[in-house]
Structure 1
Amino acid sequence: MAQHDFLVELGTEELPPKALKTLSAAFTQGIVSGLAEAGVTHGEVLSYASPRRLATLIRSVDEKQADRDIERRGPAVKAPEKAVEGFARSCGTTLDKLQIEATAKGDYYVFRSAEAGKATSALLPTLVDQSLAKLPIPKRMRWGASRVEFVRPVHWLVMLFGDDVIDCEILGLKSGRKTRGHRFHYNHEIELISPSQYADNLQHPGRVMADFTARRETIRQQIIAEGDKINGITQIDPDLLDEVTALNEWPIALTGRFEERFLDVPAEALVSSMKEHQKYFHVLDAQNNLMPNFITIANIESTDPQQVVEGNEKVIRPRLSDAAFFFETDKKTSLESRVEKLKDIVFQNQLGTLHDKASRISALAGIIAEQLQQDKGKAERAGLLAKTDLMTDMVYEFTDLQGLMGYHYALHDGEDEEVALAQNEHYMPRFAGDELPGTSAGIAVAIADRLDTLTGLFGINQPPTGSKDPFALRRAALGVLRIIVERELDLDLRQLLAIAADNHTSLPARDGLEDKVLEFMLERFRAWYEDADISAGVFLSVLALKPSRPLDFDRRVKAVSHFRKLVEAEALAAANKRVSNILSKQGSLSQADVNPALLTEDAEKALADAVTTQQAALAPLFAAGNYQAALESLSALRAPVDAFFEDVMVMAKDEAVRNNRLALLSQLRSLFLGVADISLLGN
């Protein structure tokens, strides 16, 4: 079958830079998925994206769909004639053209035919149109008098299949073979003879680097080279790199400078101003100090680059001046004096003001520090001040600096260094993989802040629903778990949640609140362990016991995960499931002692001796939380357990013997439940 390259390019006004990669990937994937559903095979897929275009090039696309056989089974031969005729009409044929097929259930009418594959060129317009319609665009726009909607106004459409234009209309545009070059360097049409010319013709003479990945790498190399020129190290934020790649079609890196007096301002504020507002990269010296320079990416190769640099320097100067002004102004008012102002800011209508929250955080942080045998006073102080930097001009202007500015202002106020560090650390981890708080006060306040929010929102019946989580409660729960587990803190979540809940003045859903929030938090472990390639059965076996200490929960999971790899694990898991089923049918059983005098079978005597031995051996292991060693010890029970179920009738006619054997099984199960419910390992 003949094959041709396919190219589609949609020319637009400047697309949203932060969404460009997502739009490009979705556009290409939509077309590829459409071809797969249509049964059209193809070769390499190339995706292109720049500020003014989305494009996809697919090599070696089959000229047409493969022919396919169609088979539909209809009613039974014994069915009413009208039913059979209706089936024939639905197949576009007559009764005499239907075939009869014998099956185990009787004879049935069957329609069989061969459908010729459609030309790929006829399918592509619909596939492209459908892909554009499915793009993840939150809000589409209209322009002029057109009823067409897209993320930005569209201006041209290229649709080539081999050397031929696919004649169609999409988003109100007639397809053609002419793309356009750079808005300033080559504002002309470029005629494409074939899809394979696309990237090369755009680059020369069009001065457009259409390949997003290649353009990104060009920018990365340029900004590193610019940093080297001034003996600095360019700091590359991947998100910022993606954004400037999406803003430029012909990127040129240039280095500018700002006045050294601005370096008196905390570096984070300067970096935020340069990065968020101007899309500049900052540079550090060999000692990791911020240099008075910035690197910008211009979308034009100027004949007078110095003029471009000076223009950027004029723009950044007032931004940095604002940051310096905010910093100097904020330092005139201490964080402590801002505590009272927190009463003017509502945290949540039913949960009070930020002042109320700060007071609750302070009290709970003190308790946590006490339990960890750390300085209670520092934790309480850090918790009380934790939200005060939200009242500063700097954080009002640069919201991403909350916490960081609290640290700088606390140091300026003469606060203890640990209290100052906690101002920033209590927001950690801010995102998945972020670093954790390092100081005791920071740990205590970070946990207290999140538990206060969790109990408060659950207590007023506002838990997360589906994809909606406005207060980021899932992230808060996972943050607490990470801190406790990775910092190896022996804290009881149920106890802390009860204290946090009681700190609130009035919660409509207070009854059983700590258990409800604990269940929600422990469920966050599921994805955690999935990422670590630990099976759902292992997680569920521990969750069934609902350990309220996250560190203990994690140790149990790791122990069960190790146990699952032992050769004895499968048999013992099955035995536990069998024991669980037997005991559940007996209703409530007391933990009665096993009467040796009622043990008559050798297998049950052997199992009783093994259980007694394990009870003595496991006691110190459970006390030390050494669950892995405990399960390794329990693996020795495989042989006596197998022999017991092979040779012993549990439900004996003699009630005393039966109850004695049930008591033995109950003791056996209790040994494993000291770690997890391993009967769930098959889940």
Structure 2
Amino acid sequence: MSTQDFLVELGTEELPPKALKTLAKAFTDGIVAGLKAAGLPHGKVHSYAAPRRLAVLVEQLAERQADREQAMDGPPVQAAFDANGNPTQAALGFARRCGVELDAIDRSGAKLRFVQQIAGQATAELLPGIVEQSLDKLPIPKRMRWGARREEFVRPTQWLVMLLGEQVVDCTLLAQTAGRESMGHRFHHNQPVSIQRPTDYLEALRSAKVLADFDERRELIASKVTELAAKENGKAIMPADLLDEVASLVEWPVPLVCSFEEHFLQVPQEALIATMQDDQRYFCLVDGEGKLLPRFITVANLESKDPAQVVSGNEKVVRPRLSDAEFFYLQDQKQSLESFNELLKNVVFQAELGTVYEKAERVSALAAQIATQIGGNAEHAARAGILSKCDLATAMVGEYPEMQGIAGYYYAQLNNEPGDVPAALNEQYMPRGAGAELPATLTGAAVAVADKIDTLVGIFGVGMLPTGSRDPYALRRAALGVLRILIEKELEQPLTPLLQAAIDQYGSRVKADGLLAQVHDFIFDRLRARYEDAGIEVSVYQAVRAVHPDSPLDFDQRVQAVQHFRSLSEAEALAAANKRVSNVLGDAEDGQVQESLLAEPAEKALFAALQQAQQDVAPLAAAHDYTGILTRLAQLQQPVDAFFDDVMVNAEDSAIRANRHALLAQLRGLFLSVADISLLG
């Protein structure tokens, strides 16, 4: 089958930079899906995107579809002809549907069948529809019209290139008639660029000062910015999103080093970085210790004859923005951090739950309780809690919302707040996302957990439960944050007393009936996905959940122990034995084993083994060494197996039967001190 390379490029006005990668991928995926649906085999597919164009190049695309057969089944042969062999209306109707005479219908099988040979269409005829369908399905939240045209797209279109081999695919899409002429750089080469064949595309545009390959532009920017930063004895801050956005803004990237006045460095560097990155798309430079340098790198979209003018222009643009940040910072310092709480007394946290200041009071009390439990400083935790929301009322956070917590940290330092109180004001929002940094201080951990618990209890308490698609108060993230802090920092904090304290603080503002259990379950439910992601089977999680540990750290220690137990050779037999014990005992209460009623050697041996095991695991239980407990209990396999092989559990004598049940209850109790391993089957 002969093949040709295929190229489609849609030229537009500047596309939304934050959406460029998404649009390019969707355009490519749509074309690939269309080719597959049309049965057109092809080779490698390349996706290209620049500020004014989306393009796809498909190598070795078949020139036409393969011929194919289409079979249609009709009525049964017996129903198609009468006793004299004459066709019935059913047979005649089927022939009409097929568009042929009855003689062309196959009647050799149980049913009438018509097999039609369908010639494959030429690819050039199919491509316009495939491209159009892909464009129609692009994820564009809001489409626009331009001029008097009825066509709609994310931006006005300017040209369309569609080539199959060296031939133009004849079509008109989005008001543009397909041709072979693209456009060069808006300033360096603002004229048509003729594309003779698809494989010429990249180099033809490169000669017109356009790097059409998004990944190439991105890598070039990263490389040159890194090189320039090193010459300034610094390192560039290059978040992936910022790098993507800058690559989406330029066709011919030219990074340049710029400067700002050093006096701006007195402002918290996070604010300076935020305004330079978010507002101007600059790359900031830091030294070896992570401190901001009075330098930044801008990426121009042209090679200027006088780069100094471009540098000067960017320095003039950034100066008033940095001056604003400096003004907010100095303005906030005219009053103490704590005084901002007065403003928060008039700011609503949630309509039914009171003000932000009242939330800070609750967080303060909870944080002190947690600090006492985890070995922290209760006074520092209480102080950090009462200051925790102050910076929300500052001018700095009002202008730069991402500075919440960070501004509080700096202002608390200026106010000489004691110990780790300043750090805790920033750490209260940790972790800020999946896998993000955790609080480094115990005070920060206490405030972070208290804040999240207060939110969970309050929002659940007014009935605003998260749904599959809506979680406006980020309750799932809050629950995961609590779990990560307590587990990964190895902090022993039972949840029940903490949740009860939070409920008590809200008083009549929340519906307390069943609230504790509801929030408790919600938090521990989040662990299931965490363990699945770590490769731990659900049955392990369920075995631990069955014994209802109250501390996330304790829960995790049990899970790790059960996961290790599953790797032991004795695990499968003991899990089965525990399942059998559970079936035998049901919900029966434990009883005392009377040694005088033990008659069979196997039950005497099991009783002795259990007595010894109880002594051995006692110190392990005190140390929460659950792995050690289960490893020791694995030694019970032989006496347990012998018991079930040699002893009639449900003996006719009620006293003996009850005694044997009590013996099995002891066995079950030993394992339940860690988990219900009967669920591991």
Compared with structure 1, are the counterparts of its residues 44 and 575 closer, same or farther at alpha carbon in structure 2 (3 Å cutoff)? farther
* Pairwise CA distance, 1:487: 0.9
1:138 & 1:646 partners in 2: Cα distance? 69
Q: What whole-Å deviation, never above 9, does each CA across 1:361-404 have from its counterpart, x for those lacking one?
A: 11111111111232211111111111111111111111111111
**1:162 aligns to 2:171 (yes or no):** no
Range with bigger deviation, 540-549 or 470-479: 540-549
- Asked if the contact 2:462–2:510 (Cα under 8 Å) also holds between the matched residues in 1, the reply is yes
SS of equivalent residue, structure 2 residue 420: helix
SS of equivalent residue, structure 2 residue 518: helix
SS of equivalent residue, structure 2 residue 569: coil
Q: What whole-Å deviation, never above 9, does each CA across 1:112-160 have from its counterpart, x for those lacking one?
A: 7766554444443333333333333333333333333332222222222
TM-score (norm 1): 0.91
* Pairwise CA distance, 1:424: 1.0
- Asked if the contact 2:106–2:112 (Cα under 8 Å) also holds between the matched residues in 1, the reply is no
Residue 185 of structure 2 corresponds to 182
* Pairwise CA distance, 1:273: 1.5
- Asked if the contact 1:98–1:112 (Cα under 8 Å) also holds between the matched residues in 2, the reply is no
* Pairwise CA distance, 1:416: 1.5
Range with bigger deviation, 660-669 or 152-161: 660-669
Amino acid at match of 1:399: P
Amino acid at match of 2:428: H
Range with bigger deviation, 501-510 or 341-350: 501-510
SS of equivalent residue, structure 1 residue 97: coil
Within a 5 Å distance, the mapping from 1:391-470 to structure 2 comes to: 391-470=393-472
Residue 142 of structure 2 corresponds to 139
Residue 331 of structure 2 corresponds to 329
1:487 to 489, 496, 517: 489
- Asked if the contact 2:225–2:255 (Cα under 8 Å) also holds between the matched residues in 1, the reply is yes
Within a 5 Å distance, the mapping from 1:277-292 to structure 2 comes to: 277-292=279-294
Which sections of structure 2, spanning at least 5 residues, go unmatched?
82-87
SS of equivalent residue, structure 1 residue 182: coil
Residue 559 of structure 1 corresponds to 561
Range with bigger deviation, 634-643 or 235-244: 634-643
SS of equivalent residue, structure 2 residue 345: helix
Amino acid at match of 2:139: P
2:97 & 2:675 partners in 1: Cα distance? 58
2:675 & 2:96 partners in 1: Cα distance? 62
Residue 171 of structure 1 corresponds to 174
- Asked if the contact 1:572–1:635 (Cα under 8 Å) also holds between the matched residues in 2, the reply is yes
Residue 672 of structure 2 corresponds to 673
- Asked if the contact 2:458–2:510 (Cα under 8 Å) also holds between the matched residues in 1, the reply is no
Q: What whole-Å deviation, never above 9, does each CA across 1:57-103 have from its counterpart, x for those lacking one?
A: 222223344556667888888999999869998888879536647xx
- Asked if the contact 1:35–1:127 (Cα under 8 Å) also holds between the matched residues in 2, the reply is yes
1:450 & 1:32 partners in 2: Cα distance? 45
1:219 & 1:18 partners in 2: Cα distance? 17
2:347 & 2:593 partners in 1: Cα distance? 64
**1:97 aligns to 2:96 (yes or no):** no
Residue 380 of structure 1 corresponds to 382
Percent identity for Structure 1 against Structure 2: 55
Q: What whole-Å deviation, never above 9, does each CA across 1:634-661 have from its counterpart, x for those lacking one?
A: 3233344444555555555555555444
Amino acid at match of 2:480: L
Compared with structure 1, are the counterparts of its residues 393 and 124 closer, same or farther at alpha carbon in structure 2 (3 Å cutoff)? same
**1:242 aligns to 2:257 (yes or no):** no
Amino acid at match of 1:263: L
Residue 105 of structure 1 corresponds to none
* Pairwise CA distance, 1:433: 2.1
* Pairwise CA distance, 1:413: 1.6
1:668 & 1:249 partners in 2: Cα distance? 72
Q: What whole-Å deviation, never above 9, does each CA across 1:239-290 have from its counterpart, x for those lacking one?
A: 2111111111111001111112212222222111211111111112345432
* Pairwise CA distance, 1:356: 0.9
Compared with structure 1, are the counterparts of its residues 598 and 309 closer, same or farther at alpha carbon in structure 2 (3 Å cutoff)? same
- Asked if the contact 1:121–1:161 (Cα under 8 Å) also holds between the matched residues in 2, the reply is yes
1:202 to 182, 196, 205: 205
Amino acid at match of 2:11: G
Range with bigger deviation, 447-456 or 610-619: 610-619
2:350 & 2:391 partners in 1: Cα distance? 18
Residue 619 of structure 2 corresponds to 620
Residue 362 of structure 1 corresponds to 364
1:87 & 1:572 partners in 2: Cα distance? 67
Amino acid at match of 1:632: T
Compared with structure 1, are the counterparts of its residues 63 and 651 closer, same or farther at alpha carbon in structure 2 (3 Å cutoff)? farther
* Pairwise CA distance, 1:314: 0.8
Q: What whole-Å deviation, never above 9, does each CA across 1:172-208 have from its counterpart, x for those lacking one?
A: 433332222111111222222221111111111x211
* Pairwise CA distance, 1:559: 1.5
SS of equivalent residue, structure 1 residue 125: helix
* Pairwise CA distance, 1:163: 2.4
Residue 304 of structure 1 corresponds to 306
TM-score (norm 2): 0.91
Residue 124 of structure 1 corresponds to 127
* Pairwise CA distance, 1:529: 1.9
Residue 16 of structure 1 corresponds to 16
Range with bigger deviation, 514-523 or 154-163: 154-163
Compared with structure 1, are the counterparts of its residues 599 and 159 closer, same or farther at alpha carbon in structure 2 (3 Å cutoff)? farther
The count of aligned residue pairs is 672
